[in-house]
Chain A
Amino acid sequence: MMMWERIKKSKQGLGLILFILIVMMLGIFAPIFTPNDPYKTNLVMKFQAFSMEYPLGTDHLGRCILSRLIYGIRPTLFLAIVTMVGTILIGSLMGILSGYFKGWIDELIMRIVDVMLSFPSQIMIFAVIALLGVNVINVILANIFIKWAWYARMIRTKVLQYREKDYILYSRCIGSSGWYILIKHLIPNISSDLVVLATLDIGWALINISTLSFLGLGVQAPTPEWGAMLSEAKNFMTTNPVQMFAPGVAILLTVSAFNLLGDVMRDILDPKEVIK
């Protein structure tokens, strides 16, 4: 694909992709890379300093911080990715429906989108979680719920832009079905814009999910998740600052990587208009 060819030429882009892939691999194969069991508590060994056995020391329950950090990649990063996949699916579906069929479907969907976009997103997340209860799945639902409208509007604009193009008119003339045109002509045109936006928004989703976990509204305590780890570490800030720095720095690095990659890709692919 064109997109990949162009990304390959950018050293910065490749480096960032490599970094993100390494983080993902660490998360997927966590049991191989971790020196200790992330759940095993050992009160005798609490607040240990750096050592061969515990490379980043231990936390207030004597659990290995490095192991928890690596296991923490799983919920932190993968929930963000699940959120984005869900957002893109629903947003694209709504955007394509609205842009392709026009008429009352378009009116209806766009009015809903207007309402969604005019409310503060943070409050909407809290409202959804308050309504559905504190739960990881609800956090994902809440995030998708507030974000899909951005994508629906962006994709609708794109679809409207492309649907009058000559080659699509031609394709329709020779009798291609609506779905064929959609999959063969429209989606490839939209995909590069979608990839850029999605990369930038994974960082956003990551911040959101870890913030909710930090507040205790997302991933719950014993599970190693970076936001939840910070929330625990907060109480031992004076005695054991490493416990706080490890997940904090991990979040900063991962979010920066996604944001930088999104920026680099936007420069490379140069979509003419990017919303937000």
Chain B
Amino acid sequence: MIVYIIKRILVSILLIFAVTFICFVFINMIPSDPAEVVLRVRQTPIITEEAIKEVTQALGLDDPYFIRYLKWLRNCLRLDFGVSYINPSRTVWGEFTRTLPDTILLALSSLIIVIIVSIPTGFFCAIFKDSLFDRVVRILVFATTSMPAYVVGLLLMWLISYRLKLLPTSGSGGFRHIIMPSITIAMTYISTYIRLIRNNMLENMKEDYVVYAKVRGLNPWRISIFHILKNSLQSCMVAIGMSIPQLISGTMVVENVFAWPGLGKLCIASIFNRDYPIIQLYILFVGILFVLFNLIFDILQHLADPRIRSLS
């Protein structure tokens, strides 16, 4: 067991190095000369040879490739990701930490909605399989897979903000602002988890322990909740945990629809402005997040489920 955990951690460290290397290569693959880009976005009136040379030296762009990677890595560990190309008075790390809390808030509230809605719905779908409720939910689940998040977001905005005048249309500010964006994000994930919990429970219902519990004469509801649901939730929780990074990166589109001042909005703006250091940090962040969450939930699953443990 401990061997397995150590092995997983070592592999993850290697993966994180791979992610950093990809991010470093990414910024060096820009079709134009980075020094020239810096000058152009700072709106230097005339770009001369000397100016390019000066910037090249200031940014350390004339060192050998590998040295530059090591230097860059060292700066990353010090949380120094350079300055924004667009606005040299702002550091990339500063911009990042300014917008990150908003994105995490949004992702977290979506996660709560997903859990609150999908577990009971999936549970009742499995219990009353093929009933009217189950069929209606199945149709709804299918419908949501055909709905792009931005269309759902716009329709909600029109209906709730303009027609019913219940919630503010966009921006951030209080509890009322977060409701619509988080529902929109949750929408795409709810359908996946309803299906997951439903199918997982149906599979568990066929197991021997359920038959045994029935033979013992336990209350059917007790069996459903304390035996079947409990066993199904274990694997679902791992799936939900592993999808948290996806949730955080998935806020991008919805943030733009609702003008939510988070990381995703910053990143899209940076793509337009060709502000590569910010995009680089964003990719680095999401990549590391993925590796870490996969590691944590993989180990948790091993700790929780003896069946998997005996396999490895």
List A residues at the B interface (Cβ < 8 Å): 115, 118-120, 122-123, 126-127, 129-134, 203, 207, 210-211, 214-217, 227, 230, 234, 237-238, 241, 244, 248, 251-252, 255-256, 259-260, 263
A120 in contact with B249 given A214-B150, A255-B146, A255-B148 (CB within 8 Å): yes
User: How many residue-residue contacts, CB under 8 A, span A and B?
Assistant: 88
Kindly list chain A residues whose C-beta atoms are within 8 Å of the C-beta of B149: 211
Kindly list chain B residues whose C-beta atoms are within 8 Å of the C-beta of A241: 158, 162
Residues of chain B from 1 to 43 with CB closer than 8 A to chain A in the complex: 15, 18, 26, 29-31
Kindly list chain B residues whose C-beta atoms are within 8 Å of the C-beta of A122: 246, 249-250, 252
Which chain B residue lies CB-closest to A204? B145
Which chain A residue lies CB-closest to B30? A131
B225 within 8 A of A: no
A215 to B142, CA, bound (A): 25
A259 to B287, CA, bound (A): 30
Cross-chain contact A248 with B146 (CB below 8 angstroms): no
Given contacts A251-B148, A255-B148, A259-B145, 18 further A-B contacts (CB under 8 A): A115-B18, A126-B271, A129-B271, A131-B29, A131-B30, A133-B31, A134-B271, A207-B148, A210-B148, A215-B256, A234-B154, A237-B162, A244-B154, A252-B146, A252-B147, A259-B146, A260-B142, A263-B142
A238 in contact with B26 given A120-B245, A211-B148, A256-B143 (CB within 8 Å): no
B253 within 8 A of A: yes
Tell which of A131, A133, A255 has the most Cβ of chain B within 10 Å. Answer: A131
Which chain B residue lies CB-closest to A253? B146
Kindly list chain B residues whose C-beta atoms are within 8 Å of the C-beta of A130: 270-271, 276, 279
Shortest A31–chain B CB gap in Å is 27
A131 to B31, CA, bound (A): 8
Cross-chain contact A251 with B276 (CB below 8 angstroms): no
Cross-chain contact B279 with A215 (CB below 8 angstroms): no
A118 in contact with B290 given A211-B148, A234-B154, A251-B151 (CB within 8 Å): yes
A-B pairs with beta carbons under 8 Å apart, 11 shown:
A118-B294, A120-B245, A120-B290, A123-B286, A130-B270, A133-B31, A214-B253, A238-B162, A241-B162, A244-B154, A260-B142
B83 within 8 A of A: no
Shortest B162–chain A CB gap in Å is 5
Tell which of B143, B145, B157, B294 has the most Cβ of chain A within 10 Å. Answer: B145
Which chain A residue lies CB-closest to B170? A234
A244 in contact with B146 given A122-B249, A215-B253, A230-B151 (CB within 8 Å): no
Cross-chain contact B146 with A237 (CB below 8 angstroms): no
Kindly list chain A residues whose C-beta atoms are within 8 Å of the C-beta of B283: 123, 127
Cross-chain contact A123 with B249 (CB below 8 angstroms): yes
Q: Which of B142, B155, B252 contacts A248 (CB 8 A)?
A: B155
A127 to B23, CA, bound (A): 10
B115 within 8 A of A: no
**Consensus secondary structure, chain B interface:** helix
B268 within 8 A of A: yes
Kindly list chain B residues whose C-beta atoms are within 8 Å of the C-beta of A256: 143, 146
Cross-chain contact A237 with B279 (CB below 8 angstroms): no
Q: Which of B31, B150, B272 contacts A211 (CB 8 A)?
A: B150
A260 to B257, CA, bound (A): 27
Shortest B261–chain A CB gap in Å is 16
A241 to B155, CA, bound (A): 10
List B residues at the A interface (Cβ < 8 Å): 15, 18, 26, 29-31, 142-143, 145-151, 154-155, 157-158, 162, 245-246, 249-250, 252-253, 256-257, 267-268, 270-272, 276, 279, 282-283, 286-287, 290, 294
Kindly list chain B residues whose C-beta atoms are within 8 Å of the C-beta of A120: 245-246, 249, 286, 290
Kindly list chain A residues whose C-beta atoms are within 8 Å of the C-beta of B30: 131
Cross-chain contact B146 with A203 (CB below 8 angstroms): yes
Which chain B residue lies CB-closest to A256? B146
Cross-chain contact B272 with A119 (CB below 8 angstroms): no
Cross-chain contact B252 with A134 (CB below 8 angstroms): no
Kindly list chain A residues whose C-beta atoms are within 8 Å of the C-beta of B286: 120, 123
Kindly list chain A residues whose C-beta atoms are within 8 Å of the C-beta of B253: 211, 214-215
Cross-chain contact B154 with A230 (CB below 8 angstroms): yes
Tell which of A216, A252, A259 has the most Cβ of chain B within 10 Å. Answer: A252
Cross-chain contact A127 with B158 (CB below 8 angstroms): no
Shortest A98–chain B CB gap in Å is 21
Shortest A251–chain B CB gap in Å is 6
Tell which of B18, B157, B158 has the most Cβ of chain A within 10 Å. Answer: B158
Which chain A residue lies CB-closest to B149? A211
A244 to B154, CA, bound (A): 8
Shortest B282–chain A CB gap in Å is 8
Kindly list chain A residues whose C-beta atoms are within 8 Å of the C-beta of B142: 259-260, 263
Which chain B residue lies CB-closest to A234? B154
Q: Which 7 A-B residue pairs are closest in the complex by CB-CB distance?
A: A256-B146, A255-B146, A207-B148, A130-B271, A130-B279, A248-B151, A123-B286
Q: Which of B26, B148, B249, B271 contacts A217 (CB 8 A)?
A: B271
A69 to B146, CA, bound (A): 19
Cross-chain contact B158 with A244 (CB below 8 angstroms): yes
Kindly list chain B residues whose C-beta atoms are within 8 Å of the C-beta of A207: 148
Shortest B145–chain A CB gap in Å is 6
Shortest A248–chain B CB gap in Å is 5
